[in-house]
Structure 1
Amino acid sequence: MTSTLGDLASSATGTLTSRLAALSTRSMRYIEPVTRAAAPVARAGKAAANAVPVAGRIVIGAAIGCLLVGFLLHWSELVFIGVTLTAALAIACGYAIGRTTYAVTVELNPRRVVVGGRALGRIAVANSGQRPVLPSRIELPVGAAHAEFQLPRLAPGQEHEDLFAVPTHRRALILAGPATSVRGDQLGLLRRTQTWTDRIELFVHPQTSRLKASAQGLVRDLEGQPTKTITNSDLAFHALRPYEQGDSMRNVHWRTSARTGQLMVRQYQETRRSQMLLVLGADAAHYASDDEFELAVSVLASVGVHVIGEENQIVAGWDGGAMHTVSPVSLLDDSCRLEPVKRGAKPLREVVRGLAARQSQPSVVLLVVGSQTPAADLRAVATLFNHDTVFTAVRADVAGEAVMRRSGPVTVASVTTLRELPLMLSRLGTRQ
């Protein structure tokens, strides 16, 4: 009896489950078409909501409220106010309704400037339709600012042009656009917008300093840097040793062998081409001011541009990851995106470790930091590399003095202005 009831219950459960599944399948057949049909309505409703600013919504609410209360209480004054507000909305609709046939062009010249350089923009609006277009205005975001341009009535084929200047007093990546036409009444009750262009990038590069040729002891080595590793074949001669079985006969020094009566072979110091690791520590807590961070970015850009120009191998990066080093321009473009990391900054050692993994053991490591960076952090970074790596730190210290100190295995050069960088690097080169 018990097993019969269990079988009935399981059979009923299975039947109910299958019916629910079938019902769900049939429901989806109807839900999907309804959803697709409702999508345009939802987009239209969203567009309509965006077309009514806050002032328009207040007027609509006030008009409805005045008409309802006025008719219910037979209060003619409220009815008059409601009718007046409704008429204002109807007039505003006349300004917003209508086709806009614009061809909009936004240009920036040049697209790349140095801090403080002159950057001009041009916006041209032409009527590409067959009918005149009523006056309107164009809104153009430029960085954090918004520029507005008043457009007159344009006949078919007529073009209106405006020029504007872009502020470049600070390093930044400035986005201009998109250009949006706005049609609406003068009271701002209703507005109709239409986007015409994409965003355009303006790179405001940091200031850089041309490094002297004497700095090449640190950042350039055409034939490679000798290490303390001894090898049987390389460029830097080290010494002679007696011949051992398996040595190549090409390395036999025959004159010495003839003089000593014993085969002698050459030994060399292993050399390699310079591979530079250039890192900016971007932890905001390590910088005393924004100007100090900008100085650090300029130091990074100056060294990076010099090394890339010498066609040496380089990996450059910061807390946000590696930077493009295909050309000096690509590095400068990426430097426009550098910002202090104010929250969740990783330890400096972890930042350098992550970037160092992108290349084999670098021969030169240059770390750019702020004046508040603890010396213990620099020493911790130095433990990542062996004795064949030249490890140096350049400290941006606007309020300090230009000095060079030794902190354990690290040579720290402090610079207060960008003009001091070439001299400091040349002194570092002679110390290596």
Structure 2
Amino acid sequence: MSAEPRAPRPPSQARIAARAVGRSLAASARSTGTVLVGAGRRAADWAEPVTGVVSLTGWLILLIALVAFIGAAVFGWIELVFLGATLLAALLVSIPFAFGRMHYRVQVALQPTRVVAGERAFGRLAVTNIGQKASIPSRMELPVGAGLAEFIVPALPAAGEHEELFAVPTSRRAVIVAGPAISVRGDQLGLLRRIVRWSDPVELFVHPVTARLKPSAAGLVRDLEGEITKTITDNDISFHALRAYQPGDPLRNVHWRTSARTGTLMVRQFEETRRSQLALLQCTERGHYASDDEFELGVSVLASLAVQVIRDATRADILTEHLTLRTATPTSLLDDTSRIEPAVDAFESIRSFVRDRTKRLPPPSVAIIIAGSTVPLGEFRSAETVFGPDTQTLAFRVEAGATSRIAKVAGTTVVTVGALTDLAGLVGRVRP
């Protein structure tokens, strides 16, 4: 006969008590850890005015000195004592160099604040001593883009001013940030660095090179007074027909003469008219462009088309994977084009990019898609299926150095742009 399974024994009182003690100790440890971490952060914040002056090199010197003293105590090597004392003395000698207070007014200005890539731009750093006494010489650092400009400010009398001019590199489209200007006090070895910020950063917009297009270029803009569609609506300007009145119809649409003649209230129906609505999209996926120059050509094509659309007062939505560009003025649009950066794996295809970025927009009358030379023509064709039959799709395929041409791929017009100088002629030949 098989033995009956035994019922599990209930835990003993000692085991229950041990578990309760363990949970209590764990909770106490967590609470103590939280308190210690908070106390450590408060202590670090309190000591930051002092510890923040020590540079990374200074902390490394201090660590080596400490290791040297420990090694001397363990191994009895007198050489390590001399090494640690020398390093510690160097750190102590650097302390007086960090003392002192300056009274400056610092201004950073860029002239001009907006340029086209390749044009010259200059910056001005003006330092004024607003203190009551003469200042001692100091060093100013000014980040400019990815670089760092360093200036030596000589001793200035009260109300004295020192000015430095510098050139800003503008060879490529970008938003170049100059500043903030900081003064650095410290020793020549860089063990201690006392930094004071004197100004806010300023921006220089390097706009892309653009081509001048003709007003109301063919293929981009339709009738600004509105074009008639086959959609029937109750409010518009193009009369279509009469129908019987239904509750809720506005009385202003009642055709009183016909109503009096038929004895039945009749209201007007209209054909819907639409203003031109443009969707201009640039795919900035890095893998869709053969080179950086080709990517910049794509941005220039986008900027050229967008600026002319804004000048023509056409309603437009201008988009990339991560940006919705402002269309209030050409200047604001060009400022935003300066911020366009290549995207990496933002969308799996151009079709998914176009679908996602236009799903909340009104149906456009013209959709323009800009991409690089590595995109297959079939990708442009698939993007056309995102829109309805009333939308004309144009694809601008930038291919630096290629022969500029216009071709039809199914219902999509594909414009290959090999050079920006060809853009005006190509746009003039496009027929939707």
TM-score > 0.5, shorter chain as reference: yes
Q: 1:193 aligns with which of 182, 190, 195?
A: 195
* 1:126 aligned partner: 128
Aligned-partner Cα distance in 1 for 2:201–2:110: 11
Distance 1:72 1:101, change over 3 A: farther
User: Counterparts of 2:189 and 2:398 in 1: how far apart (Å)?
Assistant: 52
Task: In structure 1, list runs of 5 or more residues that go unmatched.
Answer: 254-264
Cα distance in 2, alignment partners of residues 22 and 394 from structure 1: 64
Which residue does 1:99 correspond to in 2?
101
AA of the residue aligned to 1:412? V
Q: Given the superposition, is the C-alpha separation of residues 176 and 229 from structure 1 closer, same or farther in structure 2, using an over 3 Å criterion?
A: same
Aligned-partner residue type, residue 147 of structure 2: A
Partner residue of 1:417 out of 419, 426, 431: 419
In 2, distance between residues paired with 1:412 and 1:199?
Answer: 43
The partner residue of 1:320 within 298, 319, 322 is 322
Deviation at 1:183, TM superposition (A): 1.7
Distance across 2 between alignment mates of 1:13 and 1:188: 57
> Per the alignment, in what secondary structure is the counterpart of residue 334 of structure 1?
helix
Question: Secondary structure in 2 aligned to 1:293?
Answer: helix
Confirm or deny that 1:114 pairs with 2:150.
no
Q: Post-superposition shift, 1:88?
A: 4.3
Residue number in structure 2 paired with 1:305: 307
**Residue 172 of structure 1 aligns with which residue?**
174
Identify which range, 390-399 or 61-70, moves more after superposition.
61-70
Alpha-carbon shift at residue 381 of structure 1 (Å): 0.8
Q: What is residue 141 of structure 1 aligned with on the other side?
A: 143
Q: Distance in 2 between matches of 1:97 and 1:23?
A: 45
Distance (whole Å) between structure 2 residues aligned to residue 393 and residue 201 of structure 1: 33
Number of residue pairs the alignment of both structures matches: 411
TM-score, normalized by length of structure 2?
0.80
Q: After TM superposition, list the pairs within 5 Å mapping 1:5-404 onto structure 2.
A: 34-35=39-40, 37-44=42-49, 46-49=51-54, 51-53=55-57, 57-58=60-61, 61=64, 65=68, 69=72, 72-73=76-77, 87-213=89-215, 215=217, 218-229=220-231, 234=236, 270-404=272-406
Alignment CA distance shift 1:376-1:185 (3 Å): same
Q: 2:66 & 2:17 partners in 1: Cα distance?
A: 60
Give the direction of change, closer, same or farther, for the CA distance of 1:74–1:294 in structure 2 (3 Å limit). closer
Residue 217 of structure 1 and its aligned partner are, at CA, apart by: 5.1
Secondary structure at the counterpart of residue 282 of structure 1:
coil
Q: CA deviation at 1:250?
A: 5.2
| Secondary structure of the corresponding residue to residue 53 of structure 1 | helix
Counterpart amino acid of 1:40?
D
1:233–1:26: structure 2 CA closer, same or farther, 3 Å change rule?
closer
> Matched residues in 2 for 1:266 and 1:59: separation?
89
Q: 313-322 vs 151-160, which deviates more?
A: 151-160
User: What SS class does the counterpart of residue 207 from structure 1 fall into?
Assistant: coil
Q: 1:345 to 1:143 in 2, by over 3 A?
A: farther
The structure that is helix-richer by fraction is: 1
Shift of 1:146: 0.8
After TM superposition, the score normalised by the length of structure 1 is: 0.80
Determine what percentage of the aligned residue pairs are the same residue: 44
Greater displacement, 82-91 / 352-361: 82-91
Instruction: Write the deviation string for residues 18-39 of structure 1: whole angstroms up to 9, x where unpaired.
Output: 9779968996997598457514
Query: CA shift at 1:360, angstroms?
Result: 1.4
Instruction: State the shift of 1:141 in Å.
Output: 0.9
CA distance in 2, matches of 1:68, 1:155: 51
Show structure 2 runs of 5+ residues with no match. 1-9, 247-252, 259-266
Amino acid at match of 2:341: E
The residue number in structure 1 matching 2:249 is none
Shift, 1:118, TM fit? 2.1
Superposed CA deviations along residues 393-431 of structure 1, whole A, max 9, x for unmatched, are 111121211110000110011122222222222211xx2
Residues in 2 aligned to 1:358 and 1:197: alpha-carbon distance in whole angstroms: 41
State the superposition RMSD in angstroms.
Answer: 3.9
Checking the alignment, whether the CA contact within 8 Å between 2:239 and 2:270 is kept in structure 1 is yes
Post-superposition shift, 1:10?
11
Paired residues of 2:123 and 2:168 also in contact (CA < 8 A):
yes
CA contact (8 A) 2:401 2:419 kept: no
Q: Deviations over 1:266-320 (max 9, x none)?
A: 9975320011100001112211111111111111111112222232211111111
Q: CA deviation at 1:63?
A: 9.5
| Secondary structure of 1:298 counterpart | helix
